Structures are given as C-alpha cells and as structure tokens.
Amino acid sequence: MPGTLSWEASRRRAYLTGLVPALVVLAVITVVPTLFLAGASLTPLSLVDPASLFDFSNPLRNYAELLHDPRFLGSLVMQLQLSALTVTLQLAVGLGLALLLNVRSSFFEAIRTVFLIPMVLPPIVVALIWKIIYTPDVSPLHRFLDFVGLPADSFITSASTALLAVAVADTWQWFPFTMLMILATLQMIPNEPLEAAKIDGANHWQTFRYIIFAYIRPALIVSGLFRLIDSFKAFPLIYVLTDGGPGSATEVTNYYAFVQAFNFSYWGYASAIAIVLLTGVFTLSWAAGRLGWNGDEGE
C-alpha cells in the first residue's frame, strides 16, 4: 500500500519538524553551557587572565585546590547543616499540618489555600519579609520579644543564630510543599484498612504508625528529596539576609561559587565548585528517580 507508506513517512517528517527545534534550542542552552562549564573548570580562567580559557596545562589544579581550601570545605559543612535543618523542619511542620488539615469541610479547604501563600511568593519577597522580621526597628517579632520582656539582638547578625534564622525563613517558605504532597496522599488512602483497624481495636497512634504512615512514607521521602535538591540552590534568602555572614557563618557552597565567580571573577575556580554542586544534585535526582518519582519510566 504505497499510500499508507507515504502517509507514515510524511507523518514522521511532521513529527520531526515539531520536535527538533525544541531539542536543538534546549541542547544549545543547557548541554553546551554544561560542557563549557566542565571545560572551564579545568582552566585558571579569570577576569585578569581571559586568555587562559584554553590553558589546559594543569587541568586538575582547581579541584586539587578545592581540597585544600578551608572556605570551600567550610561551605560544604555549612551546606550540610542548612540542608539537614531545613529539610527536617519542613518535613515535621508539613506533616503535622497535613494531618491536622486532613478534614473534609469547606473551612479546611479554604484554610489550606491560605497555608500555600508562602510557597508561591517570589523568593525575593520572602527574603524581604524576613529581612523586616530580623530588623529590630521594624520587626513584629522583636516588638513581641520586647513586650514579653525578652529583648534580643537581631538573629542574623550573630554567627551562632544566623544559620538557624535562615533555616526558619526557608522553612516558612517551603513547608507548604511537604504539606501539599502529604495531603494529596492522605486523600487517596482507602477507608477499608482504617475501618478494619478500628474494629480490631487499634488506637490512634497505632492507626497512624501502621496504616497512615505506610501510605504517606513514599510522599515523605520524595518531598524530602525534592527539598534536599532545592536546598543546594538556596540563594535569595542568604543574599538578602546575611550575605554569607557574619564572617562565613552562612556561606553555603552555592553562595561560595557565586562569590568566587561574580565578586572575585575567578571563573575557572567557580566552575569547579559548580561542577561539584551539579554532581551532587544529579546524584540526588537519580536517587529520587529510583525511589519512586516517575520521570517517565512509570508508563
């Protein structure tokens, strides 16, 4: 049947016309820059020495230097602390609120939307909101602390509390994500096992531990991984609240790469840090894929 064949061929051609431009553009704006980044990470490229873009004489120098750079190693520790703190807080708050809000009534439906507001605000506005909260002159928090007789200095100007202050702001912004994911899962739990548990005389805690928790565990893990991946990209909060300080108390790895690239213009060195970050993020994404987040393999 020559007719069918040519229809198949023209259909394939039509499909290619639709697909190829997007793939080409996406490759140009993502794959090419990543390859460039990998290349640049092997050179001593900087503002004062732009010609060194092709200087591959000692390709691993940046990576060797990273291993002995106390500021970089410190930034990794800071990153791990911040990530652990924010992910834990967000999972705890998100889970708690999801369990509390899992009631079918119009009041609770409406209030759920209210709880989503922090997450949809532009990150820079969140940073601004918390800048206000941590600035004693205009802060409702400091007014309250003065009122109850516990005046305090700004939490972002002290090295011992700055990281926690950033983590609290980040949690405020992102707990709705976990809450939303868990609420969606809670609403899919069938009634039968819950009723069976009730008949068998299970108490609230047992019902939660053995039935509800089993259902929401995957959602918890996936939200945790999502937030963990995102926590490596934290920027606006740190930029606006602490600028990495005081000292380097909140200088996480992403921020250190930014400082090296755009304050000091050590592009080669910054590229090496970015490659380290990229590797970390992709490893975690891969783990997320394995643990039940269907990229595409679910079909």
Residues 1-40 touching other proteins, rule: CB under 8 A, are: 7, 10-12, 14-19, 21-23, 25-26, 29-30, 32-34, 36-37, 40
CA-CA distance, 244 to 254, in Å (whole number)?
10
Tell me which residues in 120-139 interact with other proteins (CB under 8 A).
Answer: 120-125, 128-133, 137-138
CA-CA distance, 100 to 107, in Å (whole number)?
13
Q: CA torsion angle for 44, 45, 48, 49 (degrees, to 10)?
A: 80
Q: Which stretch binds other proteins (CB under 8 A): 58-66, 73-81, 148-156, 285-293?
A: 285-293
What is the pattern of x (binds other proteins, CB under 8 A) and - over residues 180-199? xx--xx--------------
Angle between helices 213-231 and 162-186 (to 10 degrees): 140
Q: Which stretch binds other proteins (CB under 8 A): 153-161, 191-199, 224-232, 244-252?
A: 224-232
* Cα→Cα distances 86→78, 115, 207, 220, Å: 12, 18, 28, 14
Identify which of residues 192 and 297 has a Cβ nearer to other proteins in the complex: 297
Phi and psi (nearest 5°) for 232? -75, -15
The two most distant CA atoms of the chain are separated, in Å, by 89
Q: Which of 65, 73, 143, 195 binds other proteins (CB under 8 A)?
A: 143
Q: Which stretch binds other proteins (CB under 8 A): 54-62, 80-88, 174-182, 205-213?
A: 174-182
Identify which of residues 117 and 199 has a Cβ nearer to other proteins in the complex: 117
Contacts of 219 (CB under 8 A, 6+ apart): 181, 182, 184, 185
How near is the Cβ of 76 to other proteins at its closest, in Å?
14
Q: Which of 226, 238, 250, 252 binds other proteins (CB under 8 A)?
A: 226
Q: Which of 44, 118, 224, 244 binds other proteins (CB under 8 A)?
A: 118
How near is the Cβ of 143 to other proteins at its closest, in Å?
7
Q: Which residues of 163-183 are buried (b: 16+ CB within 10 A; e: fewer)?
A: bbbbbbbbbbbbbbbbbbbbb
Tell me which residues in 91-110 interact with other proteins (CB under 8 A).
Answer: 97, 100-101, 103, 107-108
Phi and psi (nearest 5°) for 266? -90, 80
Tell me which residues in 242-271 interact with other proteins (CB under 8 A).
Answer: 254, 257-258, 261-262, 267, 270-271
